[in-house]
Amino acid sequence: MKLLIKKEWKLTVTPVPLLFLLLSALVLVPSYPYYVTFFYNALGIFLMLQAARENRDVYYMALLPVTKRDVVRARFSTVVTLQLLQITACIPFMLLRRGYAQINNPVGIEANLAFLGFGFVLMGLFNLTFLPMHYKNGYDLGKPFVVSSVVLFLAIVLLETLDHVVPYMKTVCESYAPADLVRQLPVLLGGVAVYALVTYLAFRTSAARFEQVDL
């Protein structure tokens, strides 16, 4: 398994998803839908897998003495790592954004702990929609990405709408105050839990589907 993960980072991961991590700097823009940051993460993963497909990655993996489930597990490990790197990349920019917190973001949520919690949910939704569709045959990427993109944007619109109408989100989730950041911890922890659960379900579904594929 370690060798498969090493192969992923040497042969599959392209500079694109890594460069897209820098788009976490979008949280410095005072008026911007910060959740779009996580869409760019999804786009980077899509472009990475597209490059892998064109390089016949699936067929190369099929020649190796490994199971299909291990192939899927290694790919999920790469995707999850890139997503966790996105969260990590957001943190320094969030700290900079807090320095001028008096300039409110009229578009939606502020760059705080609640933002990260809901970001985990968005990335989990991407994993649950995109990867199981892709692993129906290990080749299709266009339709899965379109479907997952629609799901992501609908979720973003819903979250930004709730941010304007739900009292807890309008007050607590819009704040940088230390006391409110503590009150945002359930959102962050809940987002992590949702992400872990749906990503695990996505892996189970993807592995089961890929095991049925005749390569």
pLDDT in tens, 164-200: 888 888 888 888 888 988 999 999 999 999 999 999 9
Cα-based distances in Å from 197 to 57, 162, 163, 189: 28, 23, 24, 12
Length of the chain: 215
Burial level of 82, CB count in 10 A (0-12/13-18/19+)?
buried
* Boundaries of domain holding 46: 2-211
pTM over 0.85: yes
Q: What total number of domains does the chain contain?
A: 1
Average pLDDT, the chain: 91
